[in-house]
Amino acid sequence: MPTPTDPEVPVIEFVDVEKRFGDNIVLKDLNFSVRRGERVTLIGPSGSGKTTILRLVMTLEELTGGYIFVDGEPLTHREKDGKRVAVSPKEQKKLRTRIGMVFQQFNLFPNMTVLENIVEAPIHVLGQSKAEATAKAHSLLEQVGLPDKADQHPLSLSGGQQQRVAIARALAMDPEILLLDEVTSALDPEVVGDVLNILRKVADTTNVTMLIVTHEMSFARDVSHKVMMFDGGRVIEEGSPEKIFSDPSQERTKQFLSAVL
Ligand code: ADP
């Protein structure tokens, strides 16, 4: 039996994934996998389904067809006697604790302080003691350059600071998988570099598996092991960042990159 730490088992695996919103089929027959410690960036035009992929992994959207596996375990459905059967809420919750997400719009709890935002899930989901979670939160705030903001409320902070808190909150869960959804798109240009540098450091110093959606192509080039180009809910090309950014083989990829670079 493969174990969650078996390096041969993909950390994320999509098998024949379909996602529709009503009649709109956004993803169809999507198959890909991400290895442990791999950092994969999804690029492609707006509306091609990139954010939907991250939201499916985070179980924020309902999967309408196919299977997603995390560490080899079914995240939403398993096949049983030829049928597609939903996994139990308990199984899903257990897998969910291994996944962290940082959103474009920060999504911090506005009624809690910065510290409370960070310790909430470690205490209530992982069962850490308040002292342990608080000590870790302070060290993460140090790491993201906000050691003196623990007692402030998110809305008193700038966008860049809120996003740094959101990164600290995601890291507080020690996730195996970190999902980054256009994390700099809502920020003022002058703070984008700071936030990306924090994430570069996370990439350099941890083995966390990352699935990234970004328009920041130099960041994608620096941190990704693999880039997947989407169009119309399908992967039309994938490869190393060097290959995709310098020598793409598909005309559509060339067009997209010439518009964004
Ligand atoms: P991308 O991240 O590549 O810009 P998205 O994953 O956000 O693309 O969206 C893909 C498609 O799914 C778009 O056509 C979008 O309108 C549709 N979509 C996304 N979320 C919803 C939703 N909650 N309800 C209906 N349609 C949605």
Which atom of ligand 1 has the smallest separation from the CA of 22?
A: 25
Q: What is the pLDDT of residue 107?
A: 96
Q: What is the pLDDT of residue 5?
A: 60
Identify the DSSP state of 88. Answer: P
CATH code of the region 103-174:
3.40.50.300
Q: Is the CB of 109 under 6 A from ligand 1?
A: no
How far, in Å, are 89, 94, 158 from residue 54 at the CA level? 19, 18, 25
Q: Is the CB of 50 under 6 A from ligand 1?
A: yes
Q: What is the pLDDT of residue 261?
A: 81
Q: What is the pLDDT of residue 198?
A: 97
Ligand 1 centroid to Cα of residue 213, in Å, is: 13
- What is the DSSP track for 9-77? S-SEEEEEEEEEETTEEEEEEEEEEE-TT-EEEEE-STTSSHHHHHHHHTT-S---EEEEEETTEESSE
For the chain of 261 residues, list the mean pLDDT of each consecutive stretch of 10. Answer: 66 97 96 96 96 98 97 96 95 96 97 98 97 98 97 97 98 98 96 96 96 95 96 94 96 95 81
Model confidence, pTM: 0.95
CA–CA dist 21, 26 (Å, integer)? 7
Q: What is the pLDDT of residue 25?
A: 95
Q: What is the pLDDT of residue 8?
A: 81
